[in-house]
Structure 1
Amino acid sequence: MVAFEAVTKRFGRAADEAQFTALDGVGLSVSRGAITGIIGRSGAGKSTLIRLVNGLEKATSGNVLVDGVEVGGLSETGLRDLRRQVGMIFQHFNLLSSRTAFDNVALPLEIAGLSREAIRQKVAPLLDLVGLGDKADRYPAELSGGQKQRVGIARALATSPKLLLSDEATSALDPETTHSILELLKRINAELGLTVLLITHEMEVVKTIATDVAVIDRGRIVEAGRTFDVFTLPKHETTRALLSSSLGVKLPEWVRSGLQPQPLPGGRVMVRLIFFGATAFQPLTARLVSEIGTGVNIMAGTIDEIAGEPFGSLVVSYSSDTAVIQRAEQFYTETGLTREVLGYVA
């Protein structure tokens, strides 16, 4: 549905020493019908990336394709046609305060030249879809933050787009309202088959709604794939840092500060066990104890859900004796249990 091919975006003149590279050779594919999240720190290039999709910015080099059409080569007329196929919802709603909920949703249809009756037939079902059929005559000042965002979503859907862009759409909302908006986006994705591309710094948003995720750092995509795969076994240090406070087990500082990269004489190894798929519901911890002995200490654990799939994380420690570690490794191989060695302690 969307493809970024070696996309670079620079701001400033080429001869200007202060020229800034926002995106550097980005390659990424967004599958049709998927909900794809783009995560990264502030200034990583997330907003620039999404603005290239609807032509609000133009790539310095490379190609941005939407449904096979190269965005950078479009005329003004072509861009207008593209933007009818690409809806967008914003962090701060961007509603017109002087227009009712109905009229805010109707705005893109008025611009497109539809008759008032055609607009009514289009807008009323959209307000029903987002749960605001009874708020059609309310002004933005009379609506809550979540209701304003629902109006924004209905407006984004008014032109029957193929693609929905979300620019930090939930970051101004409280957790309960955020949950309701995410559930709405999931339902729209399922019922309308709409492709969704969202940028956010909130890991919980991606974990809840996104089927796929890409991690951007300093203008480069450093990791991408299924959300479950990336979140459960992050490979890049940026991904690990972003996820450290929102996923799995966070060890106390006094434990983490004592970890060493190499085994210590008479010491113990600290291991993170990851449970998902076939291992999610098996009593593997008890089997590990019986396999390597009773000296297994459980340090911390959590149960979570990522993109609708169960995920468990358990930190254990046991003797770093070579024979014990070999028995444990054989157990992991036989059972398919994923493990990550966190370090060694005295």
Structure 2
Amino acid sequence: MTFLHTAVETAPSPLAAERPMVAFEAVTKRFGGADDKSQFTALDGIDLSVARGAITGIIGRSGAGKSTLIRLVNGLEKATSGRVVVDGVEVGALSENGLRDLRRQVGMIFQHFNLLSSRTAFENVALPLEIAGLSAKAIRDKVVPLIDLVGLGDKSDRYPAELSGGQKQRIGIARALATSPKLLLSDEATSALDPETTQSILALLKRINAELGLTVLLITHEMEVVKTIASDVAVIDRGRIVEAGRTFDVFTGAKHETTRSLLSAALGTNLPEWIRSNLKPQPSVGDRVLVRLIFFGSTAFQPLTARLVTELGADVNILAGTIEEIAGEPYGSLVVAYPADPAVTERAARFYAATGLSTEVLGYVA
């Protein structure tokens, strides 16, 4: 309990409560000189706000610009143009001393843990406090509750080589929290972990966010991570934000092709290759139409599939489906096929309109 009292600061001013914790304003980042033919634009006109107290995920393929984006937040990289503002302070305008102060307020956890092999778990967590010049007693008063918070109170004297991957990451999280940061950055923090360990680390991050009110900005290529803990998400592709919003809204109503591609496996609606390869954009006589039915909100708990079969009066095949939660909200997806006969599809359209069921026509097969 001591940790909770020391980590949470006094209530923010109304102005602080209104402004985002992080704001990217028309941010562009290029590598290479202006006359360099190999100049590369990693980020191109990024506008994005990270809400205070939220868990925000940045998702995208490898090379999309995720790591560059997060390195701008703590000043490890500097924007070529535009502004990166953290808690009202423009990062690019800070002196070296200002950057050091900023980095004490921004914790960072890494994919490969970055623990010092010659130091115990306790000593690894204590390192940023030693650098800050705290006394031995003050360090102990801070580190012990932190290690307890991440569930490793009995591992304080162990060295990294004696810890599992998940335990190493927990120590990395405790170290990131040592300076009582306002913002926690996560750079692919679960990519090196097995699925079960990943879930335990995500549960820990959710708990830290809830108990401490700590803003979390995480980058990942794992859709499952964002779906599990992020309240908000932004999709980055080739250095540009192509879609952003509430995680549930983006996952259930993806508009950009990149988002849909990234989410197809995460939402459990991948079709077998033999079906995908035979999909046609227009029907022929005797074809069947493939439709994705999306259940959420008022439709999540209604027996609409059974009613659809009755309404159509035709054979309906279920090809793929899933029932799960996205950012804590129920979501179901079902891919069905039925005759592409105009009379049948007209009855289906009336049914969807009457029930409010969201649908997407995927194509037609013989």
TM-score over 0.5 for the alignment? Answer: yes
Residue equivalent to 1:193: 213
Give the distance between the partners of 1:207 and 1:136, measured in 2 at CA: 32
1:309 to 329, 337, 341: 329
User: Retained in 2: the 8 A contact 1:228–1:309?
Assistant: yes
2:290 pairs with 1:270: yes
How far 1:241 sits from its partner (Å)? 1.4
User: Retained in 1: the 8 A contact 2:314–2:344?
Assistant: no
Aligned residues: CA RMSD = 1.1
1:40 to 48, 57, 60: 60
How far 1:246 sits from its partner (Å)? 2.3
Deviations 1:23-81 (A, max 9, x none): 00011111011111111111110000000000000000000011111100011111111
Residue equivalent to 2:142: 122
Give the distance between the partners of 2:32 and 2:276, measured in 1 at CA: 43
Deviations 1:284-343 (A, max 9, x none): 111112222132222222212211222111111122222222221121111110000001
Give the distance between the partners of 1:179 and 1:295, measured in 2 at CA: 40
Segment of structure 1 superposing worse, 322-331 or 31-40: 322-331
Give the distance between the partners of 1:153 and 1:215, measured in 2 at CA: 25
- The 5-angstrom pairing of residues 1-346 of structure 1 reads 1-346=21-366
Segment of structure 1 superposing worse, 16-25 or 288-297: 288-297
How far 1:248 sits from its partner (Å)? 2.8
| Aligned partner letter, 1:86 | V
The unaligned stretches of length 5 or more in structure 1 are none
How far 1:126 sits from its partner (Å)? 0.3
Deviations 1:99-145 (A, max 9, x none): 11111111111111111111111110000000011111111111111
Give the distance between the partners of 1:265 and 1:88, measured in 2 at CA: 59
| Aligned partner letter, 1:223 | E
3-state SS of the aligned residue for 2:266? coil
Identity rate, percent: 84
| Aligned partner letter, 1:327 | R
How far 1:254 sits from its partner (Å)? 1.3
User: Retained in 1: the 8 A contact 2:110–2:189?
Assistant: yes
Give the distance between the partners of 2:111 and 2:317, measured in 1 at CA: 45
The unaligned stretches of length 5 or more in structure 2 are 1-20
Give the distance between the partners of 2:92 and 2:334, measured in 1 at CA: 48
| Aligned partner letter, 2:295 | F
3-state SS of the aligned residue for 1:244? helix
How far 1:225 sits from its partner (Å)? 1.1
User: Retained in 2: the 8 A contact 1:248–1:312?
Assistant: no
3-state SS of the aligned residue for 2:271? coil
TM-score, with length taken from structure 1: 0.98
Give the distance between the partners of 1:234 and 1:313, measured in 2 at CA: 13
User: Retained in 2: the 8 A contact 1:108–1:155?
Assistant: yes
Give the distance between the partners of 1:140 and 1:301, measured in 2 at CA: 42
Give the distance between the partners of 2:322 and 2:124, measured in 1 at CA: 44
3-state SS of the aligned residue for 2:82? strand
TM-score, with length taken from structure 2: 0.92
